[in-house]
Amino acid sequence: MIGNLNHVGVATPSIEDSVKLYRDMLGATSIGETFAMEEQGVWVCFVNLPNSQIELIEPYGETSPIRAFLEKNPKGGQHHVCFEVEDIEAARDALVAKGATVLNGGKPRIGAHGVPVIFVHPKDMGGVLVELMNRPEGKH
């Protein structure tokens, strides 16, 4: 059911500091602008790699859902992995039928790439928070 790994989500207390790591330590040359996703309570910045992306996420606002993660992991850390699927609703239905817990009541939301996404609870995925996203238009 899953296709390409689209990105790895990395929570950080400072996107600015994390960008320095990916740029200066690892030599990443293509790094996008930082933008706010108010409804999700995060600042987002993509580090572009030849075959994937790192999605840097920093809390936006006091009620950001990643604040709790950063309390447990003050330096930040790997937060989720995101795979592309052909049909987000079919993927959601298949997962629910297999007993998985899909966050947000199973309702897809528009993610940082502008396409619908869902998250599968880590308790059903060996401790890994899994994001599934509709494959972006025109990408194969």
29-43 b/e with 16+ CB inside 10 Å = b? Answer: eebeeeeeeeebbbb
* Amino acid at residue number 10: V
State the nearest-atom distance from the C-beta of 120 to Co ion, in Å. 12
Site string for Co ion, 71-110 (x = CB under 5 A): -----------x----------------------------
The Cα 51–Cα 40 span in angstroms is 26
State the nearest-atom distance from the C-beta of 81 to Co ion, in Å. 8
39 catalytic? Reply is no
Residue 55 in the binding site for Co ion (CB under 5 A): yes
Count of residues engaged in binding Co ion, rule: CB under 5 A: 4
CB atoms closer than 10 angstroms to residue 44: 21
Residue 24 or 124 with smaller CB distance to Co ion? 124
Residue 9 or 116 with smaller CB distance to Co ion? 9
* Per annotation, catalytic residue among 55, 58, 84, 131: 131
The Cα 125–Cα 133 span in angstroms is 16
Q: How many degrees, rounded to 5, is the angle at CA 42 between CA 73 and CA 8?
A: 65
Contact residues toward Co ion (CB under 5 A) are 9, 55, 82, 131
Catalytic residue IDs: 131
